[in-house]
Amino acid sequence: MSTPLQPVITKVGLAAILRADNTGIAAQITHIALGTSGYTPSNDQKSLVNQVAKFPISGGERLSSTLLHLTALADGAAAYWVREVGFLLSDGTLLAVWSHSSEALTYKSANTDLLLAYDLSLAALPANSVTIVSGEAGLSLSLAEPLAAQAAALIAEQLRSLKHADAAEQAGEKLRIVGEQVNDLVPRMKAAEKRQDADRAMFAEVHAAQTASLLAEQLRGLKQQDAADAEAELQRIAGEQIANLLTRMKAAEQRQDADHDGLLSAIISNAAANLALHTLVVKQIHGA
């Protein structure tokens, strides 16, 4: 079960949302910050009073237009009581802050991962003006076993720590919250895994369609290249044939010119011979 939080929206966070809304986009929550100071939050805050660490959002979903479910994994060697929580936008702006002057939200043990799950109410903001940006891998179902072991170690460590605390009732409440967080995380991880399987199947179909389209395009390109090569070969052969015909025509023209000159010489010689014979005949007839 998630811990419901009604944080105070900061002035700088509201200004960031207005800037984002003017560009037609929604502001993006990317990190959760944890601190150790307990107080009454103010909308003038720009940071936590005593921030210890910040962690990227591991997963989340929109439960309504103004209610977001966020999960994160708080790791590290530090041990501390969580008495203030900040929600940071992608540019580092403190969007909202929660704290209580006397009550801690939970306890982070040394060298033990703490599972954070919050239902964040943003009723004071325009509907759908804020979105969640989670880590690329998210909280995968494959982490269920180590997370369960970490949760068990967390509970054991909390038991040892709370034995030395004055508030026994507060210790039991913290253990109940941790148990509810673990119980709530398992079905959410299963649902996330199903969505991941569906996404992988869709991506596989898209990849297969793109591969088939690419192969068809490559085949068309090869056919076009073959046709272009065949046309180039025909043009080369035609060019060779034209060049051969031109050579033959030139040789024929040269032979024709030679034959014409020879025929002309023969005609002239024949005419001269006829003239000489005619002259000889006349002399013989007339005795000239």
Looking at residue 276, its pLDDT comes to 78
Domain range summary for the chain, segments of one domain joined by +: 3-210
For the chain, helix, strand, coil in percent to 5 are 55, 20, 25
What per-residue confidence (pLDDT) applies to 144?
Answer: 44
CA distance 60 to 132: 6
53: part of which helix (H) or strand (E)? strand 51-62
Pairing mode, strands 27-35 and 51-62: antiparallel
Q: Are 51 and 35 in contact (CB under 8 A)?
A: yes
What are phi and psi for residue 163, nearest 5 degrees? -65, -25
The Cα 229–Cα 160 span in angstroms is 83
pLDDT at 279: 79
pLDDT in tens, the chain (288 residues): 567 888 898 999 888 888 876 766 778 889 999 999 999 999 999 999 999 999 999 888 888 878 888 889 888 899 999 999 999 998 999 999 999 999 898 899 888 888 888 888 887 787 777 888 876 444 443 344 445 455 555 555 566 666 666 565 666 677 777 677 777 777 777 777 777 777 777 767 767 777 777 777 888 878 888 888 888 888 888 788 888 888 888 887 888 877 777 778 878 888 787 787 777 777 778 765
Q: How many CB atoms lie within 10 A of CB 165?
A: 13
